[in-house]
Structure 1
Amino acid sequence: MSTQIPLHAESDFLSALIDHAPVLVITGAGISVSTGIPTYRDEKGAWLRSNPITHQEFVADRRQRQRYWGRSLLGWPAVRDAKPAKGHRLLAQLEHHGLVSHIVTQNVDRLHQRAGSIRVTDLHGRLDRVRCLGCETLSSRDVLQKALERLNPHINHTTIEARPDGDADMPDAMVEGITVPSCDLCDGTLMPDVVFFGGSIPGSRVEQCKQVLEHSNSVLVVGSSLQVYSGYRFCKWAAKAGKPVFLMNPGQTRADDMATKWSVDADTGLDALLSLSSKKHAEALHIPPGHQPSHTA
């Protein structure tokens, strides 16, 4: 069963986490929510949005591709222009301090890299790239954005609400009129370089993450309900290997019954973790309290 952390015992949670470094960190949409990028689920893990387009639908159905790229035309700028949150910057500092061995993110926004983290695996891919399903050529999402805007000047950017992962609400009546560019090299179908629902994460990517887990002493999940198995599996693997699993998430998660949990938002929890880690490091070096370096995020 999970261990819920009361406020007076949060230092015990953080101390245990530090004692089990290096830590493999799994992040989800909750770490990006303060940037203005919405989450897909509520605090109980219930789905909040319209049904996502599956991999099979995107590949087989022209109208679904129109729907995806029309909504993405409106939603991409919010992801493109987002700035890393405090939690992203704190994780970059924790990596620099040696507490974090690697970050496996379920997000596709590249905010960890923008914050300065080096060892990051984009488990579900990258929204800033586009892949041709014909010739496999990779290209920039910004280049495609210019083509979408040129081909669809009738789309009103000001009346649509942004959604997670570069999505946006778009009335069905608008979808049919969307013109979708094709690959400049082979005229093939263009798809974002992300793993859709129903798609498969490349085996080499999963194996890389598994090797990182083998060289880590614990797993910390930040801002994820773990409802998608691709992230949840790391908790299962860790538990099977006898490695402790820690959760920082204000709502329910799929791993609550196998982990030690602190119900806290990402920014608050990671700030406390960095503060205690810096304090312990200073104590180990016998640095007087007044001379401890401060951290900023």
Structure 2
Amino acid sequence: MSEMHSDSRMQQAAQVIADSHHLIAFTGAGISAESGIPTFRGDNGIWQRYDPRVLETGFFRQNPAESWRAIRDIFYATAADTRPNPGHHVLADWEQHGLLHHIITQNIDDLHHRAGSRSVSEYHGSIRFLRCQKTGKTVPFTEQTLEESMDDRGVPVSPWGGILKPDFVFFGEGIPLKAASRSELEARNCDVMLVIGSTGEVYPAAQLPEIAAKGGAWIIEINPQRSNFTPWITDIYLPYPAGEALPALAALIGGLRS
């Protein structure tokens, strides 16, 4: 048995998950970083290389070509080569077997869907779609769609004549109503929340684990580094990468159920 499997915190977490009635997951940048997607903050974060203004709504409206140059580099250049990691696949498997009810993700990378998860609230939107700023209509993102829609400025334009913007939340925009409502409902109704790879620094998303904790839910945190949640709402802290901890938990839960 590995050191992780014999960790009493892992064994306790596995038992809590196995006994849960409404288990949900709240995922942040850490789980995607294990698939090679850089985080925004930290020493090697995206904001060390790019001006955050490129994702401000006002800047985008005034300087769409400059914003789009950065957006393509940050979000789309490596997207096709990025794959879900074992952590994503365990969550999808738990959903398919009725153990996990829902995922709330702060990530826009679509890795949960690509792993097979279907009950997902994308709290900050997704790179999967582009939204026309004239009509509000969306079109699915493909590299071909992007290339064919470019005008002479290097800005993609929709069939309806409006500038296309990635359908994720920019600075200065509100959280999509449907995602916000479903996420809060799940946080209030869960009895166990897995908090995976989130720093707890980004609001209003960081309120959701707080809501779950105030409602009496167990908070199991999986994160190699301690977060803002760790000292005051986390019940069980597992200091491991999600791609290692979730498969280990799955094995332990399988043993409990056999």
Q: Same fold (TM over 0.5)?
A: yes
Structure 1 CA distance for aligned equivalents of residues 220 and 73 of structure 2: 37
Q: CA deviation at 1:181?
A: 2.9
C-alpha distance after superposition, 1:74-96 (max 9, x if no partner): 34131133221111111111112
- How big is each residue's C-alpha offset from its partner over 1:156-207, in whole Å with a ceiling of 9 and x where there is no partner? xxxxxxxxxxxxxxxxxxxxxx52132221x222211001122111223211
TM-score with structure 1 setting the length: 0.75
1:271-286 correspondence runs (5 A)? 271-282=247-258
After superposition, where does 1:125-144 map in structure 2 within 5 Å? Answer: 125-142=125-142, 143-144=144-145
Q: 1:17-47 deviations in whole A, cap 9, x for unaligned?
A: 333343110111211223221122349x996
Q: How many residues align?
A: 247
Identity of aligned residues (%): 30
Q: Distance in 1 between matches of 2:175 and 2:118?
A: 21
Alpha-carbon separation, structure 2, partners of 1:135 and 1:121: 24
CA–CA separation in structure 2 for the residues paired with 1:209 and 1:243: 15
Does residue 214 of structure 1 match 2:188?
A: yes
Once the 2 structures are TM-superposed, how far is the Cα of residue 16 of structure 1 from its aligned partner? 2.6
Report if the CA contact (8 A) 2:15-2:256 is conserved: no
Aligned pairs for 1:187-202 within 5 A: 187-202=161-176
CA RMSD in angstroms comes to 2.5
| Structure 1 stretch displaced more, 13-22 or 204-213 | 13-22
Aligned to 2:225: 251
1:15 and 2:15 are equivalent in the alignment: yes
User: Are residue 233 (structure 1) and residue 234 (structure 2) matched?
Assistant: no
Q: TM-score, normalised by structure 2?
A: 0.85
Q: What letter is aligned with 2:216?
A: G
- Aligned match of 1:34: 34
Q: For residue 183 of structure 1, what is the aligned residue in structure 2? A: 158
Which ranges of structure 2 fall in alignment gaps of 5 or more residues? 1-5
Q: 1:214 to 1:74 in 2, by over 3 A?
A: closer
Aligned to 1:3: none
1:252-267 aligned within 5 A: 252-256=226-230, 257-260=232-235, 261-267=237-243
Relative to structure 1, is the Cα distance of residues 123 and 231 closer, same or farther in structure 2, using a 3 angstrom cutoff? same
Q: Where does residue 148 of structure 2 map in the other structure?
A: 147
Structure 1 alignment gaps of length 5 or more: 1-5, 153-177, 283-297
Deviation at 1:48, TM superposition (A): 4.6
Name 1:111's counterpart in structure 2.
111
Residue of structure 1 in register with 2:3 after alignment: none
Please say if residues 222 and 242 of structure 2, whose CA atoms lie closer than 8 Å, have aligned partners that are also in contact: yes
Residue 72 of structure 1 corresponds to 71
d(CA) in 2 for partners of 1:51 and 1:241? 39
